[in-house]
Each structure stands twice: as structure tokens, then as C-alpha cells.
Amino acid sequence: MSLRAEFVQLARQEGANVRELCRRFAISPKTGYKWLRRSREEGSAALGDRSRRPHASPRRTAPQMEARVLALRDEHPAWGGRKLQAVLVQRGIEEVPSASTITEILRRHGRLDAAESAKHQAFTRFEHATPNDLWQMDFKGHFGLEDHSRCHPLTVLDDHSRFNLGLRACSNEQGATVRDELTALFRRYGLPRRMLMDNGSPWGDDGENPYTPLTVWLLRLNIGVSHGRPYHPQTQGKEERFHRTLQAELLSRSRFRTLADCQGQFDPWREIYNQQRPHEALGMRPPASCYRVSERTFPETLPPLEYAPNCQVRKVQQDGEFSFRGRKIRISRAFEGYPIGLRPTMDDSRWEVAFGYRVLGQIDLRVTSANVLRLTKPQE
């Protein structure tokens, strides 16, 4: 400001060379003559910086459209520009702004927080080819209720479509509770080919207890059981992402009195997530548009375990072991009382261990360093 005033004062002196002054003040002649004109027409106060904002913005979003964007944002406070745009298009609204324009509308009206404004790093997604190839299951971290009890949300997600098959407010994380909830899901949606869970109770796979009564029940239903790598939650990345969405859109914005109140709020949110909420990984389609029920129906009565004639059958004892050719084989206490089938391989000393349709692993009778042989699980 002071340099501009000095330039104007010198340029107004009699005989001053304006272009030479522009060169010495390191400005263009166009800028120099602009400052002279402003000071002559408006006074020295006109030498300050002026807003570059245009006097008119004919392409700016209409106020009515901005109001629609903000109203939809109020309905779903955690949705960003892409999801809001997709929903507006689905509702048949004409001339919907681009996702980036909607994001700017939210920013201009103070509807974006720092986390939403931050850029997200792109990542590679992996998914199974068809629905029900794989279901992911986990408990969301438990939280307290106003009646001093706790809620343990159990979530089940289809890997291909991101369709949320189950969102249940449970009072505990016990295997019997999970089995009851899965039974209801299997009756409605059918059976998946495989299920992915983390490690520990009630899922198992902690080395000493590779199976639990829950996972043995899943194997009886001919459902494969997989476990994520320890300390690698990204193995269940879709479940982790679903939990973040649940936290951002519902749990962090609500209060819950009882378990019944939790379920009463879980159900309508789940409907919105499955039926309305656009999903970027699905081309902004909602998960329900990409899911179909399984052709494998749930058997109300499990058939007996049967094995081929070339199998040698042994019964698992109370200690989780069975005897074969003079050796003790340890499998898991969860199989107590069940018959296990042993099938020969091309190697006379190696035998496959099967439970119904599922191969649990192999044993090698050549191992002599242990009193009890352990089952070697197959690579998943």
C-alpha cells in the first residue's frame, strides 16, 4: 500500500516518466496506469487490494438447488458430495451439480469438518466375483447404554455387494448368541460358501484352539471357515470400513437407552445403508442392487456325517484327540463326539483328515518327535 502511494506521488510530479517509474518499481505499465487512474477517481484509499470475486456468477448453483443439497445433507450428515449427487440423480432432480460442486456448497456453508476436507489416499479393492462367495463377520466394539448394560453389535457383510446381512444389538459375544443370529440370517438369505472372521473367541484359530463349537457348526453346514491374519485388520477391510460408516452415521450421533432401543435404531439405518446409500466401490449404486440370495438353503435338520468307503473313521474323544495306527492325533475339543474321516494320499505316510465335506488338514505318521501329532491345516 505504501509503495503504491509512493509510486502515484512520484508519477504525478511534473515531467515524470511513468514507464521508467514502472520499471524501477518492478511493475507493468498497465498496473502503473491502473493505480494512477484509481487514485485520481477514488482517492488514495483505492490503492488497496480488491476482491477478485466476479460481479456476477451466471453459472453459480441456484439457491433452490443449494437448499436441496443442504436439506439432504441434514438428513445424512456423514454423506459427502458423491453420495449426495447420486441420490439427487436417483430422485429424478434435473440439472444436479457435479460432486465437486456439491462439496464446495457444503464447504461454503460450513458443513464439512477437517476429516472430510482431507484428501483420501487411493487404494486397491479386492472382492469376490459373486454374492455369497464370502461373508465377513465381526463384532463392532461394544459400548455402554443408559440403562448401564452394554451393546455388542454383531455385523455380517457380503464381500461382493457390501450388502449388510445382519446388524444385531447383542448383549454378549458368546458363540451361542452368534449361532442364534446366524440361524436367522441363513433362513432368510441362505448359506454362503465361506465365512471370514478374526481370531479368538468365539471364532477360534488361536493355535491351541483352532476350532470352536461355532465354527464346527459352520463346517457341518458345509460352510468354509477362514480367519484373518493376527494383527492385520485389513484382511477384513470391508467389515472395518462398514464399522467406520456405522460409527460416523449412527453411533456417534445417537443415544441409546436399552438393547431394544439400539435395535430400533439399527434397523432403519440398515435399511438406508442397503437400499439408499450410494457406495463408491459399486459405482454409486446401493448394496441391495448388487445382492441376491443364496441358492443354498438352510437345513433345519443336519444330515448325519457320512464318509466314502476308502475313509477310515475315528471318533474324537473328550480331550480333543483320536487314535490312528497307534498314534494320538490332536484336532480340537470342539469336535468331541464327532466322527472324523481319514483318507490316504499318494504318500503312504500322509493322510487327509476330513470332517464331512471339508478337509481339515493332513497328518504325517513319519513324525516321531512328538507323542501327540498335530493337524497341519491346509493353506486357505
Q: Write the DSSP string, 275-292.
A: HT--BGGGTSB-GGGG--
CATH code assigned at 214: 3.30.420.10
In-domain check, residue 64:
no
The most confident of 5-9, 75-79, 118-122, by mean pLDDT: 5-9
Helix 81-90 and helix 99-108, axial crossing angle in degrees, nearest 10:
120
Residue 219 lies in a domain: yes
Residues 177, 91 share a domain: no
Whether residues 255 and 159 share a domain: the answer is yes
Q: Is residue 162 part of a domain?
A: yes
Distances (CA, A) of 258 to 106, 143, 146, 176: 35, 11, 7, 21
Q: What residue numbers bound the domain in which 328 lies?
A: 312-374
Is the same domain home to 139 and 284?
A: yes
Cell matching residue 290: 448388487
Same domain (yes/no): 163, 225: yes
Number of domains in the chain: 4
Strand partners, 194: 224
Q: Read off the C-alpha cell for 68.
A: 436441496
324 and 213 within one domain: no
**Residues 330/335/341/347 CA torsion (nearest 10 deg):** -30
Residues facing residue 285 across a β-bridge? 279
pTM, two decimal places: 0.71
Residues 105 and 147 in one domain: no
295-348 pLDDT, tens per residue? Answer: 999 999 998 898 988 899 999 998 889 999 888 888 888 999 999 999 988 888
C-alpha cell at 209: 484352539
How many CA atoms lie within 13 Å of 146's alpha carbon, on the beta-carbon side?
8
CA 378 centroid distance within chain: 28
Q: Name the pLDDT band for 124 (thresholds 50, 70, 90).
A: very low
Please, what is the average pLDDT of the chain?
Answer: 84
The answer to whether residue 52 sits within a structural domain is no
Q: In angstroms, rounded to a whole number, what is the distance separating the alpha carbons of residues 237 and 31?
A: 57
| 10-14, 93-97, 173-177, 215-219: segment of lowest average pLDDT | 93-97
**Residue 358, domain member (yes or no):** yes
Clarify whether residues 140 and 281 are in a common domain: yes
Both 150 and 273 in a single domain? yes
Q: How far is the C-alpha of 167 from the C-alpha of 142, rounded, in Å?
A: 13
